[in-house]
């Protein structure tokens, strides 16, 4: 009720040991705190907080318009309602290496388990858009070093994302990934690889946990969990999936209500009041004070 049972440090330590297990950890994107509760209830390993979703939620494109304050604010709202570790998208770190250092501390304070920083130029853009540019590898190495030095909890996970696939091909991804691991990154996120062969090539040469981004309608083939695990991938994110599902269902239902003048035909597809109350943990509030909150269906 009201808060998590675990501390941020405990969630970070749990993520570290889960990563060491070698099994594939599944992190769907949570588009708000309530959806994070759903992800936890369904037995996933963690929640991902997507920059694309934070932007889309504000009806903005994912082109580096959101601020650290907005991103960290959403991260804090989500991290305080789930006992799953939450990994957040910190884009380019919001500026120079010193900004990346501050970003890491703000995200630690927000209760997150880790973040990823990417090697795109500022302003960044969605990794599945065309026309991306990356900074020289040495600039990203400085970004990572600053981030690693800034963290106060050694278990806060710093993941280096490289967007080099579109610019320098797989060899560029591999070279950069190795440099970022040497700079202290705990995990590597090779963005927008095309297929399983490309993931295998990166896996064979990079000595760190790997994150795969299975975002829909993008440049990567959608590989299933079994395939990703057999490739030796450690974390898979489904960053925008729950938002796409929710928005798809909302649009369909709202169209039908607009056309028919009633919700009668869409009730079956809705989350019920009791399922919502269950996720919100109404029973715990009722137990705390039955006079204030009670509900019988």
Ligand X SMILES: C[C@](O)(C(=O)O)[C@H](CC(=O)O)C(=O)O
215 binds, among ligand X, Mg ion, none (CB under 5 to 8 A by kind): ligand X
| Nearest alpha-carbon partner for 214 in 232, 187, 193 | 193
Q: What is the rounded distance in angstroms from the CA atom of residue 161 to the CA atom of residue 124?
A: 12
Query: For ligand X, which is the closer residue by CB, 183 or 212?
Result: 212
* Contact assessment for residue 188 and residue 157, using Cβ atoms and an 8 Å cutoff: no
Single out the catalytic residue among 32, 126, 163, 180.
126
* Annotation says 161 is catalytic: yes
Interface with Mg ion, residue 155, by CB under 5 A: no
What's the closest the beta carbon of residue 62 comes to ligand X, in angstroms? 6
Contacts to ligand X by CB under 6 A: 50-52, 62, 89, 126-128, 191, 213, 215, 218, 239-240
Q: Tell me the two tokens of residue 202.
A: 């990166």
Yes or no: say if 147 and 101 are a contact pair by the CB < 8 Å rule.
yes
Quote the CA–CA distance of 152 and 9 in Å, as a whole number: 11
Nearest approach, Cβ of 117 to ligand X (angstroms)? 11
Considering 16, 116, 165, 244, which one is annotated as catalytic? 116
Catalytic residue status for 62: yes
Angle of CA points 36, 155, 15, to nearest 5°: 40
Which of 29, 51, 64, 190 forms a contact with Mg ion (CB under 5 A)? 51
Cα-only R_g, the chain: 20
Q: Shortest distance, CB of residue 91 to ligand X, whole angstroms?
A: 8
Determine whether 256 is an active site residue.
no
Closest residue to ligand X: CB criterion = 50
Looking at 39-47, 86-94, 144-152, 177-185, which segment touches Mg ion (CB under 5 A)?
Answer: 86-94
Residues 6+ apart with CB under 8 A from 253: 263, 266, 269, 270
* Residues noted as catalytic: 48, 62, 89, 91, 116, 118, 126, 161, 191, 213
């Amino acid at each position: 009720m009201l808060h998590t049972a675990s501390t941020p440090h405990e969630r970070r330590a749990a993520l570290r040991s889960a990563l060491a297990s070698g099994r594939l950890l599944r992190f769907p994107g949570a588009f708000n705190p309530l959806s994070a509760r759903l992800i936890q209830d369904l037995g996933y390993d963690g929640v991902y907080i997507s920059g694309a979703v934070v932007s889309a939620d504000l009806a903005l494109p994912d082109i580096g318009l959101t601020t650290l304050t907005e991103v960290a604010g959403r991260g804090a709202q989500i991290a305080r309602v789930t006992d799953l570790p939450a990994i957040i998208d910190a884009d380019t770190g919001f500026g120079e290496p010193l900004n990346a250092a501050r970003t890491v501390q703000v995200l630690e304070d927000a209760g997150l388990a880790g973040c990823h920083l990417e090697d795109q130029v500022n302003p960044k853009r969605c990794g599945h858009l065309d026309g991306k540019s990356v900074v020289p590898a040495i600039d990203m190495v400085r970004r990572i070093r600053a981030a690693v030095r800034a963290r106060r909890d050694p278990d806060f996970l710093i993941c280096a994302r490289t967007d080099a696939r579109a610019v320098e091909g797989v060899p560029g991804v591999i070279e950069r990934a190795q440099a970022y691991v040497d700079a202290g990154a705990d995990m590597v996120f090779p963005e927008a690889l095309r297929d399983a062969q490309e993931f295998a090539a990166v896996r064979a040469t990079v000595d760190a946990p790997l994150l795969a981004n299975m975002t829909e309608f993008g440049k990567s083939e959608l590989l299933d969990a079994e395939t990703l695990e057999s490739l030796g991938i450690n974390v898979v994110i489904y960053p925008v999936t729950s938002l796409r599902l929710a928005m798809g269902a909302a649009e369909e239902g709202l169209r039908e209500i607009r056309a028919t003048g009633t919700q009668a035909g869409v009730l079956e597809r809705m989350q019920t009041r009791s399922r919502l109350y269950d996720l919100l943990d109404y029973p715990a509030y009722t137990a705390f004070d039955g006079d204030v909150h009670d509900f019988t269906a």
